[in-house]
Every structure is written in structure tokens, then in C-alpha cells.
Chains A and B, each alone.
Chain A
Amino acid sequence: MALNSNIPDGPIEKKWENHKFKMKLVNPANRRKHTVIVVGTGLAGGAAAASMGEMGYKVKNFCIQDSARRAHSIAAQGGINAAKNYPNDGDSVYRLFYDTVKGGDFRSREANVYRLAENSNLIIDHCVAQGVPFAREYGGLLTNRSFGGAQVSRTFYARGQTGQQLLLGAYSALMRQVNAGTVEMFSRHEMLDLIIVNGRARGIITRDLISGEVQKHLADVVVLCTGGYGNVYYLSTNAMNSNVTAAWRCHRKGAYFANPCFTQIHPTCIPVSGDHQSKLTLMSESLRNDGRVWVPKEKGDKRAPRDIPESERDYYLERIYPSFGNLVPRDVASRQAKFRVDEGRGVGKTGIAVYLDFADAIKRQGEDKISEKYGNLFQMYEKITGENPYKTPMRIYPAVHYTMGGLWVDYNLMSNVEGLFVGGEANFSDHGANRLGASALMQGLSDGYFILPYTVGNYIGSTDLDKVSEDMPEVNEAYQQSKERLDRLIGMKGTKTVDEFHKELGHIMWENVGMSRNKAGLENAISRIPELRKKFYQDVKLTGSANYVNSELEKAGRVADFLELGELMARDALNREESCGGHFREEHQTPENEAKRDDDNFCYVAAWEYGEKGHVLHKEDLSFENVKLATRSYK
């Protein structure tokens, strides 16, 4: 199948406006006759479900958590970008667009990114109207801070809990629609498969996580907003239950998976403390506004940080990147931290960390000001490590945080399977090979509030949708397959737990498909993951039954899918013989150890088609008409 991105004609500033005007509309009285399934209740899913409910569609919204408000968008800390230019520092829609394309190392689609920048201002307006309590100045106006990869202050925030406040905004809108009867909520339900009838997505199979019942849900459109797949690494900043299953099941049914190897390793996370570790905790990038990153100049310097004099410290980001300093983009900051640790200049008990130091900022602004900006983060750090960051520098190290890859979508956010739309982190479209800070919230809400409600309507308005019923063979087949899969898993009485397999997979991924990759390592992963998968189906142990709450069974289904995804990520990384953004191939670097792109051969989106005999690669060529392809420099 040829990939058509369906980018509208015309100059970039006019594409979205023209496209909206050409869309087919659905009469308000007819909207309630159309059922839209939205899977996921994070910023993208919650916003999409609420907005389409407001328009009058019959929406069925699913989430695995016990409440829509617990989707992992809730944990986003630092902020959300918008091109309001309130600080009068030269920002504009065009600059936000430019920074995002450059930040993504020229591997995103220009037209999508421009639309994202255009929508950014609408998002702030809408969230304020919903009552989101953004930080304000004494005069009552909104205030901003800076994030990596930008030289303007364009990030709106609510202390270190911006994701929480934005999600609660979307959640309140959603609950209002539940009350109005336009949205029906299915919490504690997990999507197990996609139903395709006559080539179109027409519903999903779910499992009620309390009763264990497997159910069929039919619809005219399926919208997937199920987040990213960072948990393939076992340890990540994702929530424990974040998983790839919904997206992977769609992929197995024909939806292409794009750029799976593009993962974001976030530079400022609390380092691993031991084997028992179940997840990693992010310390917001906003901390790099005031914190200074350093390591000792000498290898193996074991003195306490405060005993190391100024002259014997290496503030390496400020040294290497004088113009962006501590606010270089995430991929750059992560890689530099790894280099320092590899050189033997890491700090802390394990030597696998660098310092993020607030001493200067506290001296300059006072402890109160720092506490007002980052209080909850400092508190969280102290709870986890037992150290007080007001007194001693934080120890931080990169950790898996976000996945830029995801299901392939066109300009309308529709996958190559007709009627299957994908929003938020689950799609691949806007961040290229590296996402800038405070852009994930922007993209989730842009997709959910301001894109999907239009493009889904256009699809419904322009498509002849046949009647579907629960007894159709396609529906029954998907239902039976899901049941058989559950039966197979619950029948496994081997010797190792699901977590043991997950940890082993995570180890292979982190070592070989992590912050820096090479041919030998990737080939190693490609040979070891299928072996591990085979062992999983021979030796995993499950207890209990599929007919009631069983969290081990839930995990087993998710890890089984991660065991397939991991291999594809390694294959994608092996195929991409260049370095770009977060994808760093050791074979392709500049003499200064920076990522070296190969625009002649790899300026494309790698969209993988699932096949029983192996994946097939399709390429969508990227063209840059507005932002000139250039070597990214933050020096």
C-alpha cells in the first residue's frame, strides 16, 4: 500500500484553514446516530471524547484505570508550550513551528507541526476558560518559563503539576458530557483487539478488568489515544500499567507502526537505586531553568559535592553549549550525561549519575522562590532518595520517558486502516526523532480538542458506513481470538513470573536499543528477543483465573506484546543507518560526538507493516519546504 500523508495544498499557514473549509460536515441532528469509540482518557483521549460528546456524537470512552482522571498525562510536570509571546521575547507561531521541527532533528512532518503550533494558543485559551489554575503574575496575567531547545519563554505551567491540572480540565469536560449522556464511560476496561469489517475499523474487543468478561463494542469510528510504549524497557518514567497492547493489536491487524526506534531518554530522572526498582521518577526539565548540571573534573572524585571547589567542577553543558547552556534539548543533555559517566566521572554510590545543583539559584533568588517554583519536585526527590535538594545537589541520570514513534497517521490523524484514528503519544506525527519539553501536553490537547473532532467528522460525513452487527464473522473472529489468547496465557504453568520476563526484555532493550546503539548490539537484540519470546510461551507462570480480577494476567498480555515490539524497535534502529535526535548510532557521529544525520538516504518516516513472515518497510518521504534542512546546533 502506498502511503499518502494527505497533506493539503497551499502555503503552510493556510493548509489547515483551507482543509477545514473543504471538510464534509455532519448535521448536528445526525451526529447522535454515529458512535465513536475513544480508547484512552489522557489529554488526547479525554479531550477528544469530551469535544465529540459536546458536538453531539454518541461517544464510548474506555480506560484501564478505575477513573478517567488517572491516565498517565496526570504525571506530566513542567508545562505546555504556546506561541502567545506574552513575555515579548520574539515568539510566534512560526518560531514555535521552527523550533519544534529543528528540535525533532528534521524527522517530523512540517504541515502537522505547523498546525500544532497554530493550535497552541487556542489550547491555552480553552484551558483557562475551563478553570485550569496556571501560574500568574501579581497583575493577574499568565506567566511563562523556559524549556529546552528554545531561546524564548513560552511554557505555561501550574507549579510542577501542569499535566495534572490540564488533565483535570479535560476530565471535568468529560464528566460533564457523561452527565449529559453523550459520553458513556467504561473504566477498568482493556482493549484487546480491533474489529475490522470490509477494511474499515468498526469496533473493539475489550475485557472488563473486574468481571473478566470479554465484550464486543461496535462503532463507526475508533480513535486510539493509548499513550506510548516506553515500558518496553521495563524501567521508565511511564506509569506501571502503561502499555502498547491497544496499538500493537491494531498493528497486527494492518495499521503501520512508524519510527518505532525513536524513543526519548529524558536527562533528569532519579537514578536507579537497586534491583527491586519498579519504575523511575522524572525530575521536570523545568528544573534546568535554575539548576546547573555538573560532574567533578577528576575521574573517581569521591568527595561530597559541597567539598568540591568551584574550580574542580565541570559544568559541561555550559562549557560545550554556551548559547543554550543547561537548556539544550533532551537528547543532547542525555547523551552528554552518558559520556560523563562512561568517562568515569559519574557521581553518587553507583557512579551512574550527574549533579543538578540549585545552590546558585537559591543564593540568587532565595529558598522561598525556588520552593514556590519547584516545591513538589523537591519534596518528591527527598521522599525517594532521602536527601534534601535544598542542601545537597540532586543526583540525576537519563531514563526512558517518551516514545516519538507510534502508529502511522496521515494529516487527518487517520492510520492506514480506514476509520482508525490515532492521537497523542500513540501516533508518530509531530516530534520527529526528539520531542522538545512541554510539547507532549500541547500535542495531546491539540489532537484531542482541535483536530480529531474535525477530521473524525469529515470521515463520517464522507464515508458510506454499512451496518455492522455483533454476529458478523469478522466480529466473532476477533472475539474468539481474544478469548483464546487469554486462555492460552492463563493456562501457562511454567516457573518464571511475568515480571522476570519483562525485566529481562528491559535489560536487552536498555543495553542494545537504549541511549546509544550500534550494529552489533542491535543484531544481538534481534537474535535474543525472539528466544526470550519463545521461552515466555514455554515457561511463564500464571495463577488464578481469567474470570475475575487478575493483574498478573493483565501484565502477561502486555508483556507478550512488548516482546514483539522490542524486536521491531531493534530492526528499525538497525535499518536507520544515521543518527538523529534520540536515535544515536555510534557509527554515525561527528568528531565532536554529535548526531550525524544522513538526509540523502534517511529523510523518511519508516512505517512498518506487520506480516507473519516478518515486517515490511514502507517509506514516507519527508520534504522540508519551509525550514531548511540544517545540522542542528545548540552551541
Chain B
Amino acid sequence: MKMNLKIWRQKNANDKGHFFNYQAENVSEDMSFLEMLDVVNQDLVKQGEEAIEFDHDCREGICGACSMVINGNAHGPERSTTTCQLHMRSFKDGDTITIEPFRAKAFPVIKDLKVDRTGLEKVIEAGGYISVNTGNAPDAHSIIIPKEDADLAFVAAACIGCGACVAACQNSSAMLFTSAKISHMAHLPQGQAERQRRVLSMVQKMDELGFGNCTNTGACEMACPKDISLENIALMNRDFMKASLKHR
């Protein structure tokens, strides 16, 4: 297959940035999307040009490093799929593919398709943990957790922190990301002691960092490669309300 690529190139956060056109020849349908870009980059370097910068690491859909918008969709056209797990069999010969970085006020571009997602770290820092020092733990079986609760906690904890939810949201809201962590811990007995403090502090941090608010469009859920549900946002909102009333 042959692909026409329109790729966003930007030198750094201060540069304006532009789309550039490239062609990828001899693309096999078994190639992953990033392998197709690898080939483009090899050609660029051979021609003496700089390679297109993009974040990637595990290429198994779990590390959360990849962060591109493909044809207007964060992580591309397939549902529940990270960019690295997207394969060229999802495209047709001669297709034009537009590739941009995740765009959000809180995610400044570093170079080309690489963005700075430190904001998500700060949100976790503000309270995305259960305060237990190494050596303090009771026997694992002293904490009984109904399977249903453990499963709900797991499903929320499956978030890979890629930030596609932020990129997909018209308000650049990080509510899906933040609520996934809050919900993970809210479903567990270990998470109860700090439940209210956690939600207040993480939501406050989110606002402080310039992430927008939620207007219930559901775009985040559609873009999420790990199927994190909007219900987490509802849980977070309830918890936030309760905690705000108590800690006035």
C-alpha cells in the first residue's frame, strides 16, 4: 500500500508549527501504525532531515506513551486501541492520513508529536494514592474485598494515563483520568480513610493546572483505549459534592 501523510511538525513549544506532506511506500497491512512511521523516519534521516519525534515505548498498548491524533481521533479510528496497537490493515491503499499531537492547553508540544503531560502526574501527586509506608501492611487476607468491588476497582485502575481523554475533550478536561483513579480507590476498603481528602485535593489540582471542566459530551470515553467509563466521572462528582459539604 501507499499512504499520503500530513504530519504536524513543530520545533518546540514556542514554534508555530505546520503540516508537512510525506509519502509512505510499500506499506504492508501487517505493519503497525508506528512501524509505518519508523519507515518514514528512516527515509528522512537518510535524506539528511530530522526524524519526526513521537512518544512510544512498549508498543503493546499498556505504557500509555503514544499520544497522537490520527484523522481527528486520539489514537486513531479503532475503538479501544492505542496508536501502537493500530495496524495498517485499518487503512486502504492511497488513503491520506492526518497526524497531529494531542492538543490541550495543559499539554504543551515539546517537538512534533511529542507533548508534555506532566499535568497528569501532578494530579496523581495531589492524592492518587493510599497512604501506606513500606512495612506497615497487615496480612493480605485481613482485608476481605467482595469480588464485584475488586473487579470494579480493577476496571477503573486499568487507565494507562495516556491523556487521550484530555485530547478528545472540547474543554481539555482531565475528568476521566482523575475519576478513574478516584474510583479505583473508592471501590476498595483500603481507600476509604482518605476518600474525601483525595477527591477534594485532586479536583483542585486539576483546575489549577488549566484542565477544563466536564460538559458530558462523552468524547473522552469514546477515545479511551482502555474503555474507562463515564460512570467514574459520576462517582467522582458525587464524592466531590459529599466531601465539599463536609469540609466547608
Contact surface of A with B, Cβ cutoff 8 Å: 47, 50-51, 54, 65-70, 72, 74-75, 84, 86, 122, 124-126, 128-131, 133-142, 158-159, 161, 164-165, 168, 171-173, 175-176, 178-179, 185, 187, 210, 239-241, 273-274, 276-279, 281-282, 379-380, 383-384, 386, 449-450, 453, 495, 497, 499-500, 541-544, 548-552
* B150 and A278 contact, CB distance less than 8 A: no
* B184 and A129 contact, CB distance less than 8 A: no
B188 to nearest A CB, angstroms? 5
* A51 and B134 contact, CB distance less than 8 A: yes
Given the known interface contacts A164-B158, A179-B125, A380-B60, the answer about A137 and B147 at a Cβ–Cβ threshold of 8 Å is: yes
* B35 and A134 contact, CB distance less than 8 A: no
* B38 and A131 contact, CB distance less than 8 A: no
* B111 CB contact (under 8 Å) in A176, A241, A282, A548: A548
Known: A50-B134, A239-B58. 6 other contacts (CB 8 A): A126-B135, A126-B136, A128-B137, A136-B145, A164-B158, A552-B45
Residues of A within 8 A of B30 (CB): 273-274, 276, 386
* A66 CB contact (under 8 Å) in B65, B128, B185, B191: B65
* B154 and A158 contact, CB distance less than 8 A: yes
* A86 and B141 contact, CB distance less than 8 A: yes
A171 to B157, CA, bound (A): 13
CB pairs A–B below 8 angstroms (15 shown) = A65-B65, A66-B55, A67-B121, A74-B63, A125-B137, A129-B190, A164-B160, A173-B132, A173-B134, A274-B31, A386-B30, A386-B89, A450-B134, A549-B114, A551-B53
Given the known interface contacts A164-B62, A173-B129, the answer about A128 and B45 at a Cβ–Cβ threshold of 8 Å is: no
A126 to B136, CA, bound (A): 7
Minimal Cβ-Cβ distance residue in A for B85 = A383
A72 to B188, CA, bound (A): 26
A424 to nearest B CB, angstroms? 16
> B245 at interface (Cβ–Cβ under 8 A)?
no
Minimal Cβ-Cβ distance residue in B for A160 = B62
Residues of B within 8 A of A172 (CB): 124, 128-130
Residues of B within 8 A of A282 (CB): 60
Q: Which of B150-196 contact A (CB under 8 A)?
A: 150-151, 153-154, 157-158, 160-161, 184-185, 188, 190-191
A282 to B61, CA, bound (A): 12
Residues of A within 8 A of B130 (CB): 129-131, 172
> B197 at interface (Cβ–Cβ under 8 A)?
no
* B87 and A69 contact, CB distance less than 8 A: no
> B244 at interface (Cβ–Cβ under 8 A)?
no
* A176 and B57 contact, CB distance less than 8 A: no
Residues of B within 8 A of A380 (CB): 60-61, 85
A541 to B41, CA, bound (A): 13
Residues of A within 8 A of B70 (CB): none
* B32 and A497 contact, CB distance less than 8 A: no
A449 to B136, CA, bound (A): 12
> B28 at interface (Cβ–Cβ under 8 A)?
yes
A284 to nearest B CB, angstroms? 11
Minimal Cβ-Cβ distance residue in A for B116 = A66
* B128 and A383 contact, CB distance less than 8 A: no
Minimal Cβ-Cβ distance residue in B for A242 = B57
* B46 and A541 contact, CB distance less than 8 A: yes
Given the known interface contacts A75-B60, A126-B132, A134-B150, the answer about A499 and B140 at a Cβ–Cβ threshold of 8 Å is: no
Minimal Cβ-Cβ distance residue in A for B52 = A551
> B12 at interface (Cβ–Cβ under 8 A)?
yes
A134 to nearest B CB, angstroms? 7
Minimal Cβ-Cβ distance residue in A for B30 = A273
* A278 and B34 contact, CB distance less than 8 A: yes
Per-position 1/0 for B83-107, Cβ under 8 A of A: 0010101000000000000000000
Given the known interface contacts A66-B55, A70-B57, A551-B51, the answer about A276 and B39 at a Cβ–Cβ threshold of 8 Å is: yes
> B212 at interface (Cβ–Cβ under 8 A)?
no
* B38 and A278 contact, CB distance less than 8 A: yes
A71 to nearest B CB, angstroms? 8
Minimal Cβ-Cβ distance residue in A for B51 = A552
A195 to nearest B CB, angstroms? 27
* B57 and A124 contact, CB distance less than 8 A: no
> B23 at interface (Cβ–Cβ under 8 A)?
no
A519 to B111, CA, bound (A): 48
Among B62, B78, B135, B154, find the residue whose CB has the most chain A CB atoms closer than 10 A.
Answer: B62
Residues of B within 8 A of A210 (CB): 110
